[in-house]
Amino acid sequence: MSSTDAKETLAAADEENKIPLELEVTVEEPETCKRHVIVRISEADVRRYRNRALDEMRPTAELPGFRPGRAPRKLVAAKFRKEIEERTKGSLLLDAVSQVLDDQDFSAISEPEFDFDAVLLPDEGPLTFEFDIEVRPEFDLPEWKGLKLKRFSTEPTDADIDEQLRRLKGNFSRLESVDRPARFGDTLVLDIEVIDPESG
């Protein structure tokens, strides 16, 4: 496979990625804020993703007697079956869950909960898996138009203004040394020496 062929294969794979999955989705509502979703992915999509995983792995696959990327598809598929299946399953589940969440009318507030290892990728036929997800509660808004609101006055009093000015003075004033007794509001800098009365 030349570099041009590899680029064409990757470009075709990118186009293939834009094709939505053919899904059968069943949504159950076991609790108010929870949905149990059963997803069935068509056999054609499983095959397409499996072929794509094989095509992604083939250019770097090293088999005895073949240069990297030159081994026949069937040999690569047999040798790297487990890796191809894991890639296929991961991509399918990720894309299927993403598509389900985009297509459904509920608003998810958590990550889908499912056991990745328990999902088995069939050799033939569709892939079925289930997941649970927490959703935003749905409720009807009460009639709110025409409600009267009481607006509170925001006019500051003279006491509020004086208090705010006092705070600003305190925040932006500079400290100066003075030669007089301390007064309320002064900042004191002290050197303290503690003497233990017992030890002297």
Domain ranges within the chain, ordered by starting residue: 3-134
Rounded-to-integer distance, Cα 186 and Cα 13, Å: 75
CA angle, 118 then 122 then 125, to 5°: 135
Confidence of residue 24 (pLDDT cuts 50, 70, 90): very high
Cα–Cα distance, 66 to 120 (Å, whole number): 32
- pLDDT value at residue 4: 56
Q: Does residue 62 register a pLDDT over 90? A: no
For the cut 90, the answer to whether the pLDDT of residue 138 exceeds it is no
Of 157, 153, 86, the closest CA to residue 119 belongs to 86
Helix axes 43-57, 3-17, angle to 10 degrees: 150
Please tell me the predicted confidence (pLDDT) of residue 139. Answer: 80
pLDDT (tens digit per residue) in 69-120: 888 889 988 999 999 999 999 999 999 999 999 998 888 899 999 898 999 9
pTM of the model: 0.61
CATH of domain 3-134: 3.30.70.1050
